[in-house]
Amino acid sequence: MKEMAETTTEDVYDDAYEEKPGPSPPVKIVWRNVILMSLLHLGALYGLMILPSVSSLTLIWMGVCFMLSALGITAGAHRLWSHRSYKASLPLRIFLATANSMAFQNDIYEWARDHRVHHKFSETHADPHNARRGFFFAHIGWLLVRKHPEVIEKGRKLELADLKADGVVMFQRRHYKLSVVVMCFFVPTFVPWFFWEESLLTSYLVPCLLRYTVSLNATWLVNSAAHMWGMRPYDHNINPRENKFVAFSAIGEGFHNYHHTFPHDYAASEFGSRLNFTKAFIDLMFFFGLAKDCRRVTHETIMARVQRTGDGSHNSG
């Protein structure tokens, strides 16, 4: 298999960056997104209301679709493609890219580009979901307005050479719209309707719209809640926090103080697989020989950092 550039430093925090002084440009609302997101959440609310009447097979299917979309983000767009915290074989990358299209959170290339900018210029105007602009902006608001020009200016300076060299990433980008129609909308709706005669409306509202909306909000909580609430045992100088509720709902992505301190750790946490299904999944892939070079931070490095910059809440203290 062809080896490609499989590490990156484009996600490393840039402490030399200073925001340009002066007022920010006016916020421009993108009404199309406001309307679509409102309709999506209304549909999901309807799905939630009919949830008690849905068959158990459909509920299980919704869970399967949730886990697949979640892994496409956590093990795929996040830990593999944004941070290069492990290496994945071609079959695993194809699986993760397909699961990623089920998650419909922009294509992998765009997601990883925005996420690198988020780490590099965290909580400045160049951060796409700058949490200093408040919970709503960090959660969903940033998808409803034009980006701050600094995000685009800084983002354009990233080379993203490893992503451009990854055939799976570029293939998904080229065929993104079709892949989303098939994976995010068609497959979740078709399966319950075809295989166990669930009504078409229920199949559309529950495993499709409700599952998609829940997975979006679980992801967004990492940007909002995990940048606001929780302890900072590794670095009290930054806002990202350790938040167990987010870790649970985002299958392992809530240990956010650790993650911003050590972004290349494939576990995105100091600990094991508890509340971290993504780590268990990558370990399983490693066991089957589909993942390798899983990067981990040593205990000594963690403890030195805890002592130097932690807020004193680390359980070793």
Residues near Zn ion, by CB under 5 A? 240
253 lines the binding site for ligand ST9 (CB under 6 A): yes
User: Which is nearer to ligand ST9, 104 or 258 (by Cβ)?
Assistant: 104
Q: Which is nearer to ligand ST9, 143 or 291 (CB)?
A: 143
The number of residues that bind ligand ST9 (CB under 6 A) is 31
- Nearest one of 214, 227, 34, 238 to 135, comparing CA atoms: 227
For residues 126-155, which are near ligand ST9 according to CB under 6 A?
128, 143, 146-147, 151-152, 155
Nearest approach, Cβ of residue 37 and ligand ST9 (Å): 7
Q: Is 218 in the site for ligand ST9 (CB under 6 A)?
A: yes
Which residue lies nearer to Zn ion by CB, 83 or 87?
83
Tell me the closest approach of the beta carbon of residue 165 to Zn ion, in angstroms: 21
For the chain, the C-alpha Rg in angstroms (whole number) is 20
100 binds, among ligand ST9, Zn ion, none (CB under 5 to 8 A by kind): none
Residues that bind ligand ST9 (CB under 6 A): 30, 33, 70, 73-74, 78, 104-106, 111, 113-115, 117, 128, 143, 146-147, 151-152, 155-156, 215-216, 218-219, 222-223, 250-251, 253
